[in-house]
C-alpha cells in the first residue's frame, strides 16, 4: 500500500520499516537535528517536520524539535525528491532557484552530504520509495 509523502500514514509506515533496519545509515559522520518547514503541500498547508540523526540513524517525523541545529524551508516536491528519491541534484537546483532556505548551522547539513549509504540503508530507501505515492 502506498501513502502520500509526509502524511501521518506515510510517517507511521516509515517508522515501521525503520524498525526492521535498526542499523541502516549508522555510518553518519555528524549528528544533525534539523527542523523542516515544507511548503506547497498538496493540502495547501505547511508541514512541520524534522530530521534527526542524533541517535546515529536517520529519523524523519512530524513536528519540530525544540533546539535544532538548523531549520530548512523547502517546497514539497523538492523535499520528496531529497528524502524519498535521494536526488541531490534536486537540492542544488532548488537552492539556486531560492526554493530552499537554510537558517542555522549549514556545516552540519553539508557533513551529511558526503556520506555514502550502507547496504541496509539502500534497501530501506528502496522500500520507502515503494510505499510512497
CB 65 within 8 A of CB 37: no
Region 105-111 average pLDDT:
83
pLDDT of residue 117: 67
Distance from C-alpha of 129 to C-alpha of 14, rounded to nearest angstrom: 10
More confident residue, 68 or 86: 68
pLDDT of residue 89: 86
- Fold of the domain spanning 8-128: Nonspecific Lipid-transfer Protein; Chain A (3.30.1050)
pLDDT of residue 25: 67
Instruction: Check pLDDT > 90 for residue 27.
Output: no
The model's pLDDT over 39-85, given as tens digits with 9 standing for 90+, comes to 999 988 999 999 888 887 778 899 999 999 999 999 999 999 988 98
CB 73 within 8 A of CB 100: yes
Distance from C-alpha of 91 to C-alpha of 86, rounded to nearest angstrom: 10
Amino acid at each position: 500500500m502506498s501513502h502520500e509523502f509526509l502524511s501521518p500514514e506515510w510517517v507511521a509506515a516509515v517508522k515501521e520499516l525503520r524498525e526492521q533496519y535498526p542499523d541502516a545509515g549508522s555510518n553518519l559522520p555528524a549528528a544533525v537535528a534539523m527542523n523542516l518547514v515544507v511548503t506547497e503541500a498538496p493540502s495547501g498547508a505547511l508541514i512541520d517536520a524534522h530530521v534527526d540523526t542524533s541517535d546515529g540513524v536517520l529519523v524523519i517525523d512530524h513536528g519540530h524539535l525544540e533546539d535544532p541545529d538548523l531549520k530548512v524551508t523547502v517546497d514539497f516536491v523538492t523535499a520528496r525528491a531529497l528524502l524519498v528519491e535521494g536526488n541531490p541534484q534536486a537540492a542544488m537546483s532548488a537552492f539556486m532557484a531560492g526554493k530552499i532556505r537554510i537558517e542555522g548551522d549549514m556545516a552540519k547539513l553539508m557533513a551529511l552530504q558526503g556520506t555514502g549509504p550502507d547496504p541496509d540503508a539502500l534497501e530501506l530507501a528502496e522500500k520507502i520509495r515503494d510505499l510512497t505515492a
